[in-house]
Amino acid sequence: MNRIDNNNLVKIGIVVENIEIAANSYCDLFGLEFPEIQLPSSEFKPDPTGETYTWYRGEFVPSRTKFANLQMGPITIELLEPFDEASAWNEFKEKHGTGVHFITFTVNGFERHINFVEEKGMPLIHKGEYESGRYGYFDSIANLGVMLGLQEIGKKGK
């Protein structure tokens, strides 16, 4: 493997203080329908099967965030209001306040992409596996001026 699967930027992730207020502003300014806001449960229970998880800087952690996806033409704007606990999103919030946190590309072959990006000198700092896909963020600011996100859609092993 000597290059990423594709160069179609599909998502821009933006960390906000208050997701309802931010979502309202986007919807008003751009004439969008108000999105469903995803709220993680306040009591964290790890998946007993281990199938779904979040991993951040070497540890399996709750890493919860409120989030909402806004469809702006072909690009998704993902608004994120992280919980006050260890995650890439909260790390960004503590360093920068609010703003663009990552740009995401959808790839096929998640694990080999992680190896490829890490070989290029951009270590994985956060990843998550959910029911129907997986995502990861890389420390790519020194190389690309922005955090790189990769996602793969579909159940594991399919």
Task: Please report, as ranges, the residues that interact with other proteins according to CB under 8 A.
Answer: 2-4, 6-10, 12, 14-16, 22, 25-26, 28-32, 72-75, 96, 98-100, 103, 120, 141, 143-146
Q: Which helix (H) or strand (E) holds 151?
A: strand 147-153
CB of 118 to other proteins, least distance (A): 12
CB of 144 to other proteins, least distance (A): 6
Q: Where are the alpha helices (DSSP H) in the chain?
A: 19-30, 88-96, 110-119, 141-144
Q: In this complex, which beta carbon is closest to other proteins, that of residue 8 or of residue 38? A: 8
Query: What is the rounded distance in angstroms from the CA atom of residue 119 to the CA atom of residue 117?
Result: 5
CB of 32 to other proteins, least distance (A): 6
Q: In this complex, which beta carbon is closest to other proteins, that of residue 20 or of residue 52? A: 20
* DSSP-derived pairing of the beta strands 147-153 and 99-106: parallel
CB of 147 to other proteins, least distance (A): 9
Question: Nearest to residue 87, comparing CAs of 68, 65, 67, 104?
Answer: 65
Q: In this complex, which beta carbon is closest to other proteins, that of residue 95 or of residue 158? A: 95
- Which amino acid does the sequence have at 76? T
Q: Quote the distance between the C-alpha of residue 61 and its chain's center.
A: 15
CB of 141 to other proteins, least distance (A): 6
Query: What is the rounded distance in angstroms from the CA atom of residue 126 to the CA atom of residue 138?
Result: 7
Q: In this complex, which beta carbon is closest to other proteins, that of residue 9 or of residue 130? A: 9
Q: In this complex, which beta carbon is closest to other proteins, that of residue 129 or of residue 149? A: 149
